[in-house]
Structures are given as C-alpha cells and as structure tokens.
Amino acid sequence: MSEKQKQVEKERRGVLELLLQKNGLNRKELVDFLLSVWMAGKVDELTEQEKAQFPNLVF
C-alpha cells in the first residue's frame, strides 16, 4: 500500500470515529444497525417455511 493510500485510510478511520462520537454510537451499534437494514431488505428472499423458524420476529 502506498503512503498516499495509507494516509487516505487513516483519514477515513478518523472521519468514522468522529462521526460515531458525534452521533453517540460505537462500531458495534453501527454494524448491528446496518445488518438490520440489510436483513430487512433481503427478508423477501426467505420462504414461508424459513420464516417460520423465527417465530419471535415479524416479517
């Protein structure tokens, strides 16, 4: 990785940390939220039988 790429990546991490701090989040909370959004967008790929395996969730 070039020095320029390393610097860009360092700055990206810095922006992420700053945004997380400003929004009162940590990385795990962000990842959990994004996973929930992704799953909600993909739930239509499950069959009724597959959905039945998760009786406590509303689809």
Model pLDDT for residues 8-33, shown as the tens digit of each residue: 999 999 999 999 999 999 999 999 99
Top pLDDT among 49 and 59 is at 49
Whether the pLDDT of residue 55 is over 90: the answer is: yes
- Rg of the chain over Cα atoms, rounded to whole angstroms, equals 18
The span from the CA of 4 to the CA of 56, in Å, is 49
Note the pTM of the prediction, 2 decimals.
Answer: 0.72
Q: What is the pLDDT of residue 29?
A: 98
